[in-house]
Structure 1
Amino acid sequence: MTAAQTPNVEPGAPSPIASLPNLRDLGDWEAADGRRVKAGRVYRTADFSGLTDSDARLFESLGVRTVYDLRSASERAAVPDPEFDGVANLALDVLADSSTAIPANLRHFLDDPATAAKVNAELSGGGAVEAITDTYRSMVALPSAHAAYRRFFLGLAGEDTAPAAFHCTTGKDRTGWAAATLLTLLGVSREDVFTDYLLTNERLVPALKPVFDTFAAAGGEPDLLLPILGVREEYLLAAFDEVDTRYGSLSGYFADGLGLDETVADALRATFLK
């Protein structure tokens, strides 16, 4: 099915691709002016590490022409994106200026959960929640994040070819902020923005059961991984609070943080609302 033939979807509908459980179309959320986000134009997802050959064909059927990879250079080297015919892949390292941010080092938890004792010590006492909350604030403040999200929004506004997909490793933090800011800019309510964001806990966390099981078998407490591998409302609230503190509003963040004028916002609304 081509993008032009893609029907309306229910907002936040489950992924149509089993091996990409955290993929979702950002279409059909209602904006404040009564319009809706177009379906089949922009997708959020985790990385493609679990993508099967048969599901790769399903992904290609979505008609995606640009993929924005928000991961670090080391993440991309460890798990390169697949090459799809006719699809441009742009590397936009959001956390390049932060070497210790947990989201940029998630492969440590996904690939080596057997280091249970060390991880238990690191995550106990709420340390993980505090660290990730700080990372969300840094995604608003870091120069590398400004550069990455600026290029992301310029691409969506017309510099690149749609439909588009964007991702990080698990598709929840760097990807979550990109989705939240895009939907907010398009006029989607804060309640719906958080609904989309928190869907990761329903879609991704169950798919990571083998990680939790391996962690438990090595002597770890699985619940300690939840703040790392899931999402919390307080994380996204921290990012929006950082926006308000630094820039006064989301429009201020776009103008003064990302250096994007109102013509870009207008182009995004014209492109993604119907």
Structure 2
Amino acid sequence: MTTSPGTSIPILSVPNLREIGGYRTREGATVRFGRFYRSTDLSKVTADDAARLAELGLVTVFDLRTLSERDVAPDRAPMSAREVPLDVLADKVGGSMVAQMRALMEDPSILRRYLGDEQAMDLFRQTYRDLIVLPSALASYRGMFTHLAEPEALPALVHCTTGKDRTGWATASLLLLLGVDEDDVFHDYLLTNEQLLPSFKQVFDKFAAAGGDPTMLELVLGVRAEYLQTALAQMRQSFGSIEGYFTEGLGIDASGQDTIRTHLLEG
């Protein structure tokens, strides 16, 4: 059983799998264990790992990927779980690098040919702003959090393709709503670099063999505090606070917010 917040759940075919339980809030409560998980997509779950994944008792799986991402790599979710597709980036004009992760993993030379370090970072900064203001993003996160206000939706798991950007904001905004200190929110967010990047060793090796700089690939396949800071700055500019984001942006009133806290906090 997981006893410390952010501990990796070692299911090899589902990297970056962890839960949010164990984090303390500023009011002295604790986020419940076994209620909310985050991961990469579930398209590569092996037969052996399927049994281990089923042990989590998932009732709901929130899939934040685009329709094309889901079509290319459909989830192998546990039979117990209802899948809820929520296309965060549906309204992104011209597409998004975040939605092209699978293509980049298969052919990282695309990145080397077309993007420099600063250009890649600029694209991610814009994506994180989009996560806050795109109508499709607001509708998708509204859908997720509305479900989390229903006790029968838990335990739940949220994922995108690599479980770091769209999923990163889903988790960060939830932890902030629960009252977890921002330093711990960043800690959870940055754990992706420890728990996800090692699974991309072959991608990094291929990129380096083709003459690419692995540092550039880390900007795309990993996370940086600056990306989440960009989302928080946009959230405060647009809505003032995390409560304002939920009330004005997502249409979840104070009562709904308190219900989510009741379901996910103890003590």
The letter for the 2-side match of 1:186 is L
Q: Which residue pairs with 1:170 in the alignment?
A: 162
| Partners of 2:101 and 2:154 in 1: CA distance | 29
Aligned to 2:213: 221
TM-score normalised to structure 1 length: 0.93
What residue is the counterpart of 1:112 in the other structure?
107
Shift of 1:227: 0.7
Question: Does residue 93 in structure 1 map to residue 58 in structure 2?
Answer: no
**Counterpart in the other structure of 1:102:** 97
Alpha-carbon deviations, 1:221-259, whole Å to 9, x = none? 222111110000000000000011111111111111111
* 1:131-185 Cα deviation digits (max 9, x unpaired): 0011001100000000000000011110752100000000000000000000000
Aligned to 1:4: none
Alpha carbons 1:122, 1:128 under 8 Å: kept: no
Instruction: Give the Cα–Cα distance (whole angstroms) in 2 for the partners of residues 149 and 243 of structure 1.
Output: 13
Moved over 4 A (4+): none
Structure 2-normalised TM-score?
0.96
> CA separation in 2, counterparts of 1:25 and 1:221?
32
**Where does the alignment leave 5 or more consecutive residues of structure 2 unmatched?**
none
8 Å contact kept, 2:38–2:157? yes
2:42–2:77 Cα contact (<8 Å) kept: no
Q: Secondary structure at the match of 1:193?
A: helix
- Gaps in structure 1 of 5+ consecutive residues: 1-6
- 1:110 alignment partner, SS class: helix
Contact 1:42 1:163 in 2 (8 A): yes
Within the alignment, does 1:273 sit opposite 2:254 as a pair?
A: no
Counterpart pick for 1:25 among 19, 24, 29? 19
Q: Is the 8 A contact 1:67 1:164 kept in 2?
A: yes
Matches within 5 A, 1:1-274: 7=1, 9-98=3-92, 99-113=94-108, 116=109, 118-158=110-150, 161-274=153-266
Contact 2:117–2:219 (Cα < 8 Å) also in 1: no
Are the aligned partners of 1:66 and 1:165 in contact in 2 as well (CA < 8 Å)? yes
Percent same amino acid at aligned positions?
Answer: 46
Displacement, 1:67?
Answer: 0.2
Deviates more, 1:101-110 or 1:185-194: 101-110
The structure-2 alpha-carbon separation of the partners of 1:240 and 1:41, relative to structure 1 and needing over 3 Å to count, comes to same
How much is the aligned-residue C-alpha RMSD, in angstroms?
A: 1.3
